[in-house]
Structures are given as structure tokens and as C-alpha cells.
Amino acid sequence: MCGIIGYIGDHDAYPFLIKGLKWLEYRGYDSAGMALFNGHLSIFRKMGKVADLESYMQNQEFGGKTGIGHTRWATHGEPSDNNAHPHGSMNGWFTIVHNGIIENYAELKEGLVNKGYSFRSETDTEVLVNLMEYFYNQGTEICAEDAVMLALSKVTGTYGIAVLCSQESDCIIAARKGSPLSIGIGKGQFLIASDATAMAGFINQVVHLNDGDLVVLKKDSFTLKSISNKPVSVKISNIDIHIGDIGKGSFDHFMLKEIHEQPRVMEDTLRGRLQPEKSDIMLGGLISVMPDLVKSERIIIVGCGTSWHAALIGEYLIEEFARIPVEVEYASEFRYRNPVIGKNDVVILISQSGETADTLAALRLARDKGALVIGICNVVGSTLARDTDAGIYTHAGIEIGVASTKAFTAQLTVLTLLALKLAWERKTIGSLQYTQHINELAGVPEKIRQILLQSEKIRTIAEKHKSVRNSIYLGRGNLFPVALEGALKMKEISYIHAEGYAAGEMKHGPIALVDEHLPVIVLAPRDENYEKMASSIQEVKARKGNLIAIISEGDNDIREWVNDFIEIPETLPALIPLLGIIPLQLLAYHTAVYRECNVDQPRNLAKSVTVE
């Protein structure tokens, strides 16, 4: 949520900033801006996309080897040129880009107004930058760095910031609390960014800032300390991001590319972990904690959005195979309700980005209560990956489309491996069943490839329903969360109101919605719930609902009762979610394209939700 980039070095800053902003646009895309220092400070801001800022700047004069940039997802103040970052202080001494929320901004603003400060925007950020200027003015011995620290000591809330001071123009000062920031180390240059991806191609070493860190970047050195001016040890990591990973290739949208990447992603997630030749599963990241996991009395899985849906499927899998009680929680609820957690509980946090504010807060809470905390995360080096006791990377590669697709299947893959491995260690699964699942799992990527071949058929189904206002998704058992996820995909990118329900709940209310205009998407493959789903289909059909069914290949019954059907290959019941979600992703994608929606950057959303 909001992307920050900064550059200081021997070269013109603009190309680094604009390129970085383009990578970061998935984090917020309602406005963008940058400040460049070239003897004096120039600020350029535009409502809209980074491309709008870029074309605006083509007609401007600018230069400079130091600069900061920002792409915004509005929190305080509507999207506008005026609310766009960077924000300057009243006298123009400080300029800031900010990701996060200053919760006590109203009180701080009042104090500054009383001291004669005036404000030009509706943002909380402008309060912070003026507070820096205020402290800077309190005495000649106070340098820019001191002023930043003093201002930060007064704020409550979260921030990732990069700051320029026109009086001390040889540095960028950056700090983090609750919003990610990484320093990129290059030859004769340093960058700073909310996501190391934005620096790909320019640097190959990074320092990930921790909460409470402050860094002063100069052209040829950097100093890392805490925001309360204490020394902090520096941990430099190599990064290996290839620019080639980030393009759309031959696809029209990142989302479509990422949907099609899923077979390969799943192979990557399984590689080295699924060992059919030994009939075993190896989870290297969990070796040290496996004994605790095996004897855990309860597992709580926490996440948001799509990751929460993966967690729900994880609950089915772990309870089914490993027989450990599992609870699933929204991170945003868990963190505020004083949950009962004991030392023998394990809390698993699932997050694609590893930076979701609520999930990180849940992590801290679980840790404070003494639980073993385990991460399932996609972004290497993210806060979640660094702050958990142990974890498993999903290896989905960079996910740019705001609607999560390949990260979800990778999360399901990891959860399936975990459930099976736990069951094996706990002796709640026999060797025959264990081996059968291992062998079948190895074949799932190929089955996903077969489903992807039906994209054209799914497009024609999407065309029929492109103008509806509402839709319902039904599933049972481990396909209920798949229904929720299918509905989420539809609403977030096509803006069609879509609800997922446990099919058995239909009769308790939602069936009142069914008429000939309502698409009802049913997950009805051959599994233990097949007969029950068949009944649900009949109930919808009797009320003239427009049925679209996901069925097993060769099912000649259900196809006769529904308006449209999409076949998926047969597999073991535990693995059906990995196949069942694919047609639903494609259905949402094609519907959104027909409706001319911005598939990769849906309105009001951002990829990484780093504010509450």
C-alpha cells in the first residue's frame, strides 16, 4: 500500500525513480509523484497512474542525482494532485514520501496550527513533514536527522518514510515502523524502496530495514541506526531478481500470465519437497520445529483475503490427515480480540507479500503469547519471513496482478505438503494413503495445464454473464473455501457482486436470491459430497437459476442439468481445490476483460495491504 523509491548516487535519479515507481505501482495507483534535488528541490505530482506522471514530466525541466518518489493508495484525503506525495513542509525545508498512517495526526496538526503552521493537503503525511521542520527550527545544533527522529518520537501509527532536507542535500533519511523498506546497495549509488523488486537490475545487495530502523543514505555510504539513535547491526543479503521475471510476456495482463504460470509454480513449490521416489515429503524450513509441530495440541492459521481462503482449506487438510484441531482466523480480527493461545499452540501465518499489516500484528501477538509461529510466505526476505520461528516459502515468483492467483495455488500446495507430512510423522496416515497422495500430487501440475486449455470455452461462458450484477458460488467441504475464493476473484476484478456459500447453507437464506438472472457457480466434482451437490443443483434449477458447474471429466449427469459446465480432471478429494480454483480464476478474468475493467489494478485495491 503506497510504494516508496529513493535514489542517491552518481547518475541522474529520474530514470531510477520512474522505473521503480512502475514496478511499485501494484502497491497503489491513485496518484504518483517525485521530488528531485538539483541545487534546489523540485516536486512533481499527478493524480492517476505513474504513466500520467511520466507524461506530465516530459514537459517539465528537471534534473538531479538525488530524489524520492511515491505511488499512492489513498488513506487520508481523496486521490488528487494536491494529496499526492511527496509533501513539502511549509517553508520547503523538508520533503517526504510516506507509506502508512499517522494515527495521532489530528492532535499533532492542531499543535502545529497553533504554532503558525498552515497546510495545503488533507493528508496525515503533511503533518509529519511539518513536525520535522518544526523541530529543525528549534536550535542550530539540531540536524535533519535529529529533526526526523524527534518528529517520529511524537507519532503513533505506522510508517515507511524517505525524507529530503533542502538544507542538508547530500542525503536521504529513511525510517520504518510497520511498513516495509529495503536499501539497495549499488556501485556509487544507493536506492531505497518499499519492495526490493523496484530496485531489480540496479543493485544486487540489499539491507531489509527492521521496524524501528532509521538509515541515512549518502552517495558513498550509509548509516543504519534505530529511530531512538541506538546502533543497529547491518545484515546485507544478496538478491536475485531478474527483470525478465517481471514482464507480461505474450499475455495481455499480469493476472492472465500468472494464472497460466500455475503449473510451473506448483512444480517449483513441490521441487525438492515432494519426493515420490522415496515416497516422502521433505520440508527443510520446518526441520527444527517439526517435533513441536507434531505434538502441538492446536494449530491456528491466520491470514487475510485469499490467504485466509487458503487457510480454510489448510484446516480441512490438517484435520483430515493429521487429526490436529485447527482454527482459522482473519488476522484483522485475531489481533484485536485477545485470543486464548497456549505454549503448545502453533500459529501459522499465511501471506503472499509477507508485509500485510494485520498479519504481521497477529504474528507479534502470537509470539508474545508464547506460541510457535510459522510462516507460509511468498516474498523472500519479507518481514513475515524474517520474523517467524520457521517457515516455508511458496516459491510462486513475483506476483504482480493485484488479484492473487498463483500465490494461492502455491499456498495450497504447501498446506497440502504440510498436512501430509504432519500426518506421516503423527502416524495418522497409512503408508499406502501417504504414497498415493504423494504420487497424485506430482501429477497435479499437468492436470492444471489441461484445465488451462479450456480458457476459450470459459471466455464464452463469461461473455454470456458479463452484464449481471450478482452471482453466487457454491461448494461443500474443502470446496467451500474455493467457492469463497472464486467469488472474491469475481468481485475484486469485475466489480460484480459475488458471494460464496457453503452449499448446505443455501436453504437457510441465500436461495431467496435465485431467479433466472442469477448465475450460480457450483463446484460439483466427483467427491464425497457429490450427491449433496447434485441436490443443491436441482434446487437451484427448480428456481430457474443460471447454473455453471465445475464437474469431473466425463460426468454425464450434472452436465445435463446445468446451463454451462467446465470439466476438471479427476484427482483425490484432498487435491481437488488445486484444480477447482483454476476455472474460477479464468471466469473472473474473462468477465473483467469483457467489462473493460482494469484487471491488474482493480479500483480501490492495492497488492500489499501495509496499513490497517
Enumerate binding residues for ligand F6R (CB under 6 A).
304-307, 351-353, 356, 359, 403-404, 488, 492, 608-609
Other Cβ atoms less than 10 A from the Cβ of 15: the count is 11
Instruction: Supply φ then ψ for residue 303, to 5 degrees.
Output: -170, -175
Task: Give min distance, CB of 238 to ligand F6R, in A.
Answer: 23
Per the CB < 8 A criterion, the answer to whether 384 and 240 are in contact is no
| AA identity, residue 13 | A
Cα gap 184→306, rounded to integer Å: 30
Cα gap 241→579, rounded to integer Å: 29
- Report residue 500 CA to chain centroid gap: 21
Closer residue to ligand F6R, CB minimum distance, 28 or 64: 28
* Dihedral sign, Cα of residue 353, residue 357, residue 359, residue 363: positive
Based on the residue annotation, tell me whether 115 is a catalytic residue of this protein: no
Select from 125, 129, 150, 142 the least CA-distant residue to 214. Answer: 150
Closer residue to ligand F6R, CB minimum distance, 398 or 609: 609
CA angle at 424 for the pair 423 and 428, rounded to the nearest 5°: 50
- Report residue 391 CA to chain centroid gap: 17
Closer residue to ligand F6R, CB minimum distance, 307 or 546: 307
Cα gap 94→386, rounded to integer Å: 32
Task: Give min distance, CB of 366 to ligand F6R, in A.
Answer: 15
Q: How many alpha carbons fall within 13 Å on the CB side of residue 116?
A: 4
Closer residue to ligand F6R, CB minimum distance, 6 or 303: 303
Task: Give min distance, CB of 416 to ligand F6R, in A.
Answer: 18
Name the catalytic one among 19, 406, 421, 607: 607
Closer residue to ligand F6R, CB minimum distance, 26 or 93: 26
Closer residue to ligand F6R, CB minimum distance, 164 or 311: 311
Residue 477 CB-density burial (10 A; 0-12 exposed, 13-18 middle, 19+ buried): buried
Q: Which whole-number Å values give the CA distances from 338 to 193, 369, 556, in the listed order?
A: 34, 10, 51
Task: Give min distance, CB of 84 to ligand F6R, in A.
Answer: 23
β-bridge mates for residue 499, sequence order: 472
Select from 195, 166, 139 the least CA-distant residue to 37. Answer: 166
Cα gap 420→390, rounded to integer Å: 18
Closer residue to ligand F6R, CB minimum distance, 451 or 588: 588
Q: Cβ-closest residue to ligand F6R?
A: 305
Task: Give min distance, CB of 115 to ligand F6R, in A.
Answer: 39
What separation, in Å, do the N-terminal and C-terminal C-alpha atoms of the chain show? Answer: 10
Task: Give min distance, CB of 244 to ligand F6R, in A.
Answer: 23
Q: How many alpha carbons fall within 13 Å on the CB side of residue 481?
A: 23
Task: Give min distance, CB of 382 to ligand F6R, in A.
Answer: 9
Closer residue to ligand F6R, CB minimum distance, 189 or 608: 608
Task: Give min distance, CB of 526 to ligand F6R, in A.
Answer: 28
Closer residue to ligand F6R, CB minimum distance, 93 or 393: 393
Cα gap 358→317, rounded to integer Å: 24
| AA identity, residue 385 | A
Per the CB < 8 A criterion, the answer to whether 374 and 349 are in contact is yes
Per the CB < 8 A criterion, the answer to whether 300 and 345 are in contact is yes
Task: Give min distance, CB of 604 to ligand F6R, in A.
Answer: 12
Per the CB < 8 A criterion, the answer to whether 323 and 354 are in contact is no
Based on the residue annotation, tell me whether 225 is a catalytic residue of this protein: no
Catalytic positions, written as ranges? 2, 607
